[in-house]
């Protein structure tokens, strides 16, 4: 059930990730004389691996959901059986910690895989510590507003304040 639930998404994810590969990389490799095998092994696969890895992390979340559903439907033991039994007896105080445990397992699995991403793909911006443009904007705007507010309260202009020579 997990395989059937995720295989179609896997095919779409691989196709979409491959489609997003930068064409100038392929053109540059072809210009330098790369054959089809070299294009695949030295350009396409290394080019899509970081994005494919992140997409597979997301797909793992779907697989985890299908696993819980499969266990709920087909297995008469395990965490979902415990949830079902306790829910039948209206012992919801016992159900919520198990649901939280399932969520925490998924969360920590994703965090561990995210850390491995920085190890496996050190050339990506995530691994090199460079923030994405959105994150840089989010971090810059409050700092800019804070400096602007401080300047307004002091009545100074940032250009004039920085261009004055210091007296020694």
| Confidence at residue 11, expressed as pLDDT on a 0 to 100 scale | 92
pLDDT in tens, 89-146: 888 888 888 889 888 998 899 889 888 888 888 877 665 666 555 555 555 555 555 5
DSSP track, 67-129: HHHHHHHH-SSSHHHHHHHHHHTT-HHHHHHHHHHHHHHHHHHHHHHHHHHHHH-TTSTTTTT
pTM summary value: 0.60
114, 94, 95: which is closest to 106 by C-alpha?
114
- 144-149 — which CB contacts under 8 Å span 24+ positions? none
Q: What is the pLDDT of residues 11-32, one digit of tens each?
A: 999 899 889 888 888 888 899 9
The torsion angle over the Cα atoms of residues 59, 65, 67 and 69, rounded to 10 degrees, is -150
pLDDT tens, residue by residue, 41-93: 988 988 899 899 999 998 998 888 888 888 878 777 777 788 888 888 888 88
């Amino acid at each position: 059930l997990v395989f059937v639930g995720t295989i179609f998404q896997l095919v779409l994810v691989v196709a979409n990730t491959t489609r997003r590969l930068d064409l100038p990389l392929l053109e540059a490799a072809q210009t330098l004389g790369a054959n089809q095998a070299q294009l695949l092994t030295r350009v396409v696969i290394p080019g899509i691996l970081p994005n494919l890895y992140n997409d597979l992390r997301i797909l793992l979340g779907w697989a985890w959901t299908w696993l819980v559903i499969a266990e709920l439907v087909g297995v008469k033991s395990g965490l979902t059986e415990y949830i079902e039994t306790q829910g039948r007896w209206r012992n919801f105080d016992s159900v919520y910690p198990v649901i939280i445990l399932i969520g925490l397992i998924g969360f920590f699995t994703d965090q561990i895989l995210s850390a491995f991403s920085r190890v496996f793909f050190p050339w990506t911006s995530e691994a090199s510590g460079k923030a994405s443009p959105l994150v840089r904007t989010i971090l810059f705007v409050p700092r800019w507003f804070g400096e602007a507010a401080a300047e307004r309260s002091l009545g100074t202009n940032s250009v004039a304040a920085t261009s004055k020579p210091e007296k020694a």
